[in-house]
Amino acid sequence: MKITINGKTVEAQKGQNVLQAAVANGIYIPHLCYHEKVGAAGKCRACVVEIEGMRGLQTSCSVPVRDGMVINSTSDDALHAQKLVIDLMLSSGTHDCLVCEQNGNCELQDAAYFLGIERASLQYGDICREFDTSSEFVYVERNKCISCGRCVAACNNTVVNQVLDFGYRGHSTEIVFDTDKPMADSNCVQCGECSQMCPVGAIVDKNSRGKGRTWELDKVETVCPYCGVGCKLELHIDRKLNKIVKIKGVEDAPTNKGMLCVKGRYGFDFVSHPERLTTPLIKENGQFREASWEEAIELVATKLSGIRDKYGADTIMGLASAKVTNEENYTFQKLMRTAIGTNNVDHCARL
Amino acid sequence: MAGLAASFGSGAMTNDISGMKDSDVALIIGSDTSEAHPVISARIKQAVIEGKTKLIVIDPKEIKMADFATIYACQRPGTDVAVFNGMMHVILKNGWEDKEFIKNRVEPESFNALKTEVEKFTPEYVEKISGIPAKTLENIAELFGKAKVAALYYAMGITQHTTGVDNVKSTANLQMLCGNMGVPGGGVNPLRGQSNVQGACDLGGLPVVYTGYQQVVNPDVHAKMEKFWEVKLNIKAGMPMTVAFDKAYDGEMKAFYIMGENPMISDPDLHHAEAALKNLEFLVVEDIFMTETARLADVVLPATTFAEKDGTFTNTERRVQILNKAVCAPGQAKHDWEIHQLLANKMGLSWNYNNAEEIFCEITAVTPSYAGMSYKRLGRMGLHWPCPTADHPGTPVLHVGKFSKGLGTMFAIPFRAPAEIPDADYPTYLTTGRILQQFHTGTMSRKTEGLNNLAGPHAMISVEDAERIGVQNSGDVKVTTRRGSIVTKAFITKRIPKGTAFVPFHFWEAPANKLTNNALDPVAKIPEYKVCACKLEKA
């Protein structure tokens, strides 16, 4: 179907809401509570637009598109309302961008930039909540929370861990873990979905804090090395240090839709761990000593050939691995079958 | 895998992750899904809270998924065959089986044999074996049997038994009986526990098959592979690793080449495994860390991690996905394939791969189920095998309209007790498995301090057993079996029934596999990690 947004006629799909159709056509409308995964909440009111034939301003995230619909997201009224909403958010809480982890990746910052809001005009910054630094991997700074509800929806409806909720009322509303316990004492399993979904810097990955800003980090998509679900990861790399500093789930991945578990999201220290093996080792008199590749390969080839020639190829066993790639399992079994001459290849699928 | 191959002709998860939302009923048995496959557990929980799916959980532990279940039942460890036979007994008695499906898709004589076998498995008889109340079993059978489409999920809780193959065949029996095969939201779904365990199987990391499950002993396959690789090949099937360890212990095996595995934590009866490895003339280990196994090696070769390499993994739903290199490997560490190439060439062959993609091209040339794939086609989303041609869209659901082997085979499976059950000396069931915060032998996950802070070694024991032996929560408990004993922290919980203890196997400080029984399934050669007899004492 065709709809018109800000004077431009664009294509829209049945079942889309106005905000989705706008985003799909490259038209930005400020929005904070809406996320494709948790759907429309109609809470933040930042995405209000004018729609011909409808009275007053409409939240574009909650109005389904109709053929021929005429929408204006940049009329004076719409912009005025959007500005007021963002201004109110900026006015409550500490939205300091300088050391914020989300700087450059913050949807509130994006909205303020789009609307040209330099400073909040209504300073009623009376919100002063304690940081929750109790958990191993997730850092919670409620002073930055805009109560959009994405984390609450994601915790309850996406990962279905049912730990996060809103507590208290009105101006005192805040996100709470279980019955307002410190995160570490709650039933939270630290999957980090709340951090993945937070549009601002209120919930961030604890161990990534201060390790690099989003534009300084290279992003590389790959597959999680842990269980067999095959969740897709976006690794955030500090090139200067040759180090993974953060991992996010890939939102459009068919396996995990951005979700990860505590290991997949936070268990990457092993990659740059100081105990990594960095050189071949040969044991002599019960002690390992460093060796060159030439020496190690020569020794292994000689030993394996010798044992094959003396006792037969079937006295040699190869254990392939459920943790290396298809390509490497292929070359391993090819090596055992062609160079050594045995079908003794197995791995720990059963273990 | 041997079980499903016998039933359907193909031994892999039959359905895909995206289709999990389409089940009317899901049965989880022998999988602590939220601990071992958290993201799949989220998919199932989503379907439950949206009201689409009703969940049945059968597990000796009252796992977290049980909180979302319409029915939860606790069976004695190692009694799954009886439970399945009982369910099928009730389903057949009430005529809830899918008669059309059985008529069209199942070998008739095999169905008759199954019918005869399950006749004696009345709910009352099954209650005596499994401890599941007869009424509960009837309710489970009714909910499952009447569902339009029902999925069955399992993991090592089904396979790691001396009756592992029997258990797996039973899952296939049930799903064929109810006509849940070849449909979205149905299927027999073994959840694979490691990132590329499916791929390691697909790519010939097994003693009896080349890539794509082409039989080593089949003369046609043998001729094809000799021609393709241009070498003479051994036509004798190889031996499974569990058998190889026994033979190494006896001195028959002379050398092991171990890539990226740590049997010194993951093998049953670790004393035996250690003695076996020490008895070898030569042991080479290729790994990223000095693992417990690498310490015993004569040569250790440094390899690369997932983040340092290009390549592909095949996940539990048979989706082949691309890995992209993100960081450089430390020091002189090399990719496993580079090491294999150096060795092959040193041993007189002439390999000449320049990158992982070239190897993948070779794989597709010789592997029918991967034949239609290329890195370009895999793209960001990957493809499900079988994908036989370059224009084939991949196969998210197996066995649509027809099983790989034609008609499906049901098996009449009598109940057999586990190899070791509690007695006067060792009165408690011991079962082992995973916990969320750690992975396998801990080589990777235990390098993250936060994960260690969240989860250390422990034994889950029941409130009743804790009171009986006088241990407090977090107090030291000694767990002893006929193989050995460990001392660890007691984690006292109502989620485990009286008379059963659970020990996670990730920890070298308190290795569960010092305790486990190395009795094997006669076909799959999988050890019985899920059941043995132990004694609990205050330490």
Show residues of chain B in contact with A229, CB under 8 Å.
17, 37, 39-40, 191, 315-316
- Walk me through the domains of chain A, giving residue ranges and CATH numbers: 2-115 (3.10.20.740), 138-266 (3.30.70.20), 281-350 (no CATH)
Q: Which residue in A255, A295, A305 has the most chain B C-beta atoms within 10 A of its own C-beta, making it the best mutation to test that interface?
A: A255
User: What ipTM did this prediction achieve?
Assistant: 0.95
| pLDDT > 70 fraction of chain B, expressed in percent and rounded | 100
In three-state secondary structure terms, A8 is strand
Determine, for residues B316 and A229 on separate chains, whether the beta-carbon distance falls below 8 Å.
yes
Distance (Å) from the alpha carbon of A30 to chain B's nearest alpha carbon = 29
A283 touches chain B (CB under 8 A): yes
Which pLDDT belongs to residue B197?
94
What H or E segment, with its residue span, contains residue B129?
A: helix B123-130
CB atoms within 10 A of CB B103: 10
pLDDT of residue A3 exceeding 80, the answer is yes
Lookup: tokens for A91: 């006015």
What is the per-residue pLDDT across B485-538, written as a single tens digit (0 to 9) for each?
999 999 999 999 999 999 999 998 899 999 998 888 888 888 899 999 999 999
**B 328-387 residues with CB < 8 A to A:** 328, 330-337, 339-344, 346-349, 351, 353, 356, 359-360, 362-363, 380-382
**pLDDT tier, B47 (very low <50, low <70, confident <90, very high otherwise):** very high
- Chain A: residue whose CA lies nearest to B199: A326
- Could you give the angle at the alpha carbon of B413 between the alpha carbons of B407 and B415, nearest 5°? 160
Peptide bond into B386 cis (omega under 30): yes
Mean pLDDT of chain B: 95
Determine, for residues A278 and B311 on separate chains, whether the beta-carbon distance falls below 8 Å.
no
Smallest Cβ distance to A303: which of B197, B216, B255? B255
What is the per-residue pLDDT across B245-288, written as a single tens digit (0 to 9) for each?
999 999 999 999 999 999 888 887 888 999 999 999 999 999 99
pLDDT of residue A127 exceeding 80, the answer is no
Q: Which residue in B159, B216, B341, B346 has the most chain A C-beta atoms within 10 A of its own C-beta, making it the best mutation to test that interface?
A: B346
Which pLDDT belongs to residue A123?
73
- Chain A: residue whose CA lies nearest to B355: A327
Residue B451's φ and ψ, nearest 5 degrees, are -65, -40
Q: How far apart are CA B76 and CA B434, in angstroms?
A: 19
In the numeric block, the tokens 């002379």 are attached to B254
- Could you give the angle at the alpha carbon of A341 between the alpha carbons of B292 and A319, nearest 5°? 20
| pLDDT > 90 fraction of chain A, expressed in percent and rounded | 90
Buried residues in A245-265 as b, exposed as e (16+ CB within 10 A) = bbbbbbbebbbbbbbbbbbbb
Lookup: tokens for A148: 């959009």
Give the residue among B256, B210, B212, B261 at the shortest CA–CA distance from B237.
B210
What is the per-residue pLDDT across B318-353, written as a single tens digit (0 to 9) for each?
999 999 999 999 999 999 999 999 999 999 999 999
Which pLDDT belongs to residue A349?
65
- Chain B: residue whose CA lies nearest to A191: B38
Q: What is the mean pLDDT of residues B393-413?
A: 95
**B477 within 8 A of B486, measured Cβ to Cβ:** no
Which of A121-135, A175-189, B70-84 bottoms out in mean pLDDT, i.e. has the lowest?
A: A121-135
Q: What is the mean pLDDT of residues A35-62?
A: 93
Distance (Å) from the alpha carbon of A180 to chain B's nearest alpha carbon = 20
Show residues of chain B in contact with A280, CB under 8 Å.
299-302, 332
pLDDT of residue B11 exceeding 70, the answer is yes
**B112 within 8 A of B195, measured Cβ to Cβ:** no
In three-state secondary structure terms, B231 is coil
Q: How far apart are CA B539 and CA B525, in angstroms?
A: 34
- Chain A: residue whose CA lies nearest to B346: A301
Lookup: tokens for A233: 């990861």
Which pLDDT belongs to residue A122?
82
Q: How far apart are CA A324 and CA A320, in angstroms?
A: 8
What is the per-residue pLDDT across B420-450, written as a single tens digit (0 to 9) for each?
999 999 999 999 999 999 999 888 999 999 9
B191 touches chain A (CB under 8 A): yes
- Walk me through the domains of chain B, giving residue ranges and CATH numbers: 2-190 (3.40.228.10), 197-384 (3.40.50.740), 428-538 (2.40.40.20)
- 8-state DSSP, A52: T
Which pLDDT belongs to residue B268?
79
Contacting residues for A128 by C-beta, under 8 A, at least 6 apart: A143
Determine, for residues B524 and A350 on separate chains, whether the beta-carbon distance falls below 8 Å.
yes
Determine, for residues A325 and B193 on separate chains, whether the beta-carbon distance falls below 8 Å.
no
Determine, for residues A319 and B346 on separate chains, whether the beta-carbon distance falls below 8 Å.
no
Q: Which residue in B243, B325, B447, B506 has the most chain A C-beta atoms within 10 A of its own C-beta, making it the best mutation to test that interface?
A: B447
Which pLDDT belongs to residue A234?
98
| Residue B242: C-alpha distances to residues B162, B168, B381 (Å) | 13, 19, 36
How large is the C-alpha radius of gyration of chain A?
27
